[in-house]
Amino acid sequence: MASSASNVPNHLAIIMDGNGRWARQRLLPRSAGHRKGTSTVRKIAYACSDRGVKVLTLYGFSTENWKRTGDEVGALMGLYERSVRKELGEFHRRGVQFRVIGRINEFPQRVRDILLEHVEATKSNSDLILNLALNYGGRAELVDGVRALASKVRAGEMDPDEISEEMIGRSLYTGDLPDPDLLIRTGGDMRFSNFLLWQIAYTELYVTKTLWPDFDEPALDEAFRTYGARERRFGAVGEKLR
């Protein structure tokens, strides 16, 4: 059953966790979990587009994920490359604008090229904005933003006193996007793992034990229903408490 419009977040962010555990439960290599996870990405991205989500930000690889074995990192790189290449036609047909956030300059050239090619090819699409966070870290993003602002101050283009919350927000990779309304983490862990630290100040959090490869449309709708029943107060006294 599809969610009603008021249950649908404008900007949904997802920490896609649990691929390794999914594979281990089946005595498969971790890479098999990542492979299955990419088919969930496709399904959930299109489900979000169908439900009217405007921005979907997916955590694909953190700045800390380099700590994994070379084999696993290599398998992930290969998967991003192949799956993004495979999806381009469908992205276009559905009006998906594909973006990448993170320090992808540290990715292998081949992977970087294919990602940027797709960003360029879909930049005029205006349905769903699909933001893929790769080599992304919330702290790295703040460092990059602060560096950009500091350069402007040094160049005499700006006074330090002018720095505002809005300006910091705009200096981030997500600068032109609204903050996420809902953050879903699959796999059951109750933490943020360095994802969108600045942007989630007032984001609703939804953690499910379901592992990412098992996450499906009914699970998405359940998250949206829960989200729809929340009262977002943003620090004020809400309707139910007045």
Active site (catalytic) residues = 17, 65
Cβ 104 vs Cβ 133: under 8 Å:
no
Type of residue found at 200: I
- Of 11-19, 45-53, 84-92, 220-228, the window that binds ligand IPE (rule: CB under 6 A) is 11-19
21 binds, among ligand IPE, Mg ion, none (CB under 5 to 8 A by kind): ligand IPE
**Residue 204 in the binding site for Mg ion (CB under 5 A):** no
Residue number with CB closer to ligand IPE (149 or 220): 220
**Nearest distance from residue 6's CB to ligand IPE, in Å?**
28
Residue number with CB closer to Mg ion (62 or 203): 62
Cβ 193 vs Cβ 15: under 8 Å:
yes
**Residue 195 in the binding site for Mg ion (CB under 5 A):** no
Question: What strand order describes the sheet that includes 97-101?
Answer: 97-101, 129-136, 55-62, 11-15, 182-185, 204-207
Token match 């870290």: residue? 137
Residue number with CB closer to ligand IPE (99 or 171): 99
Type of residue found at 108: P
Q: Which of 49, 187, 208, 227 contacts ligand IPE by CB under 6 A?
A: 187
**Residue 87 in the binding site for Mg ion (CB under 5 A):** no
Residue nearest to Mg ion (CB): 17
Q: How far is CA 209 from the centre of its chain?
A: 19
Type of residue found at 59: Y
**Nearest distance from residue 137's CB to ligand IPE, in Å?**
10
Torsions phi, psi for 222 (to 5 deg)? -65, -40
**Residue 141 in the binding site for Mg ion (CB under 5 A):** no
Token match 């994920």: residue? 65
Q: Which of 76, 128, 132, 220 contacts ligand IPE by CB under 6 A?
A: 76
Closest CA to 94 of 119, 52, 53, 127: 127
Task: Looking at residues 133 to 162 of the shown chain, list those that interact with ligand IPE (rule: CB under 6 A).
Answer: none
**Token pair recorded at residue 20:** 């390794």
Cβ 198 vs Cβ 169: under 8 Å:
yes
Task: Looking at residues 5 to 44 of the shown chain, list those that interact with Mg ion (rule: CB under 5 A).
Answer: 17
Question: Which residues in this chain contact Mg ion in the complex, by CB under 5 A?
Answer: 17
Question: Which residues in this chain contact ligand IPE in the complex, by CB under 6 A?
Answer: 15-21, 59-62, 65, 76, 187, 189, 191, 193
